[in-house]
């Protein structure tokens, strides 16, 4: 197996076709990792969520890390890691363009809304939260047989 570093352009192409990721955030010294669905425009990752621990963590500490991967077998895989800052896109006039951009990107994928809005036992009322993560730094590795 040969593991090579990916250039930023390769990482961006990979992000453009892959949406399922693992979001790492932290609050009060406790790391938290959760699967999320995100879409990239090359500058930001955009997501949709409802209120919960993930949002609590990112509000408390906006520094996050996101990992995307594609594993075909143990010798053939891709892993891209994004480091950045969380920012909510509230339903306010000054965020309208960013929210619309996020929604336009997310709607290109089927069922984009479902993971964040399905009913959870004893859940609170659903309140949609659109957010973005600034892509400060991106790294990628690719393994080939």
Whose CA is closest to 102, among 90, 114, 84, 117? 90
Q: Domain of 129: which CATH number?
A: 2.30.110.10
Query: pTM score, two decimals?
Result: 0.86
SS3 state of residue 9? helix
- The pLDDT tens digits for 23-56 are 999 999 999 999 999 999 999 999 988 888 999 9
- Domain span at 76: 2-117+124-144
Q: In total, how many domains does the chain have?
A: 1
* Distance (Å) of CA 10 to CA 5, 6, 80: 10, 6, 10
Tokens of 128: 């949609």
- The pLDDT tens digits for 80-123 are 999 999 999 999 999 999 989 988 888 887 654 454 444 455 55
């Amino acid at each position: 197996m040969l593991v090579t570093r990916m250039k930023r352009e390769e990482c961006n192409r990979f992000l453009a076709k892959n949406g399922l990721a693992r979001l790492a955030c932290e609050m009060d010294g406790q790391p938290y990792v959760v699967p999320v669905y995100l879409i990239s425009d090359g500058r930001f990752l955009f997501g949709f969520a409802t209120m919960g621990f993930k949002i609590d963590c990112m509000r408390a500490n906006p520094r996050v890390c996101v990992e995307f991967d594609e594993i075909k077998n143990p010798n053939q895989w891709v892993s891209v890691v994004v480091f950045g800052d969380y920012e909510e896109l509230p339903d306010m006039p000054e965020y309208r363009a960013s929210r619309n951009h996020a929604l336009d990107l997310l709607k290109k994928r089927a069922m984009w809304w479902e993971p964040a809005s399905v009913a959870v036992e004893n859940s609170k009322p659903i309140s949609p939260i659109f957010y973005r993560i600034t892509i400060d730094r991106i790294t990628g590795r690719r393994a080939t047989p």
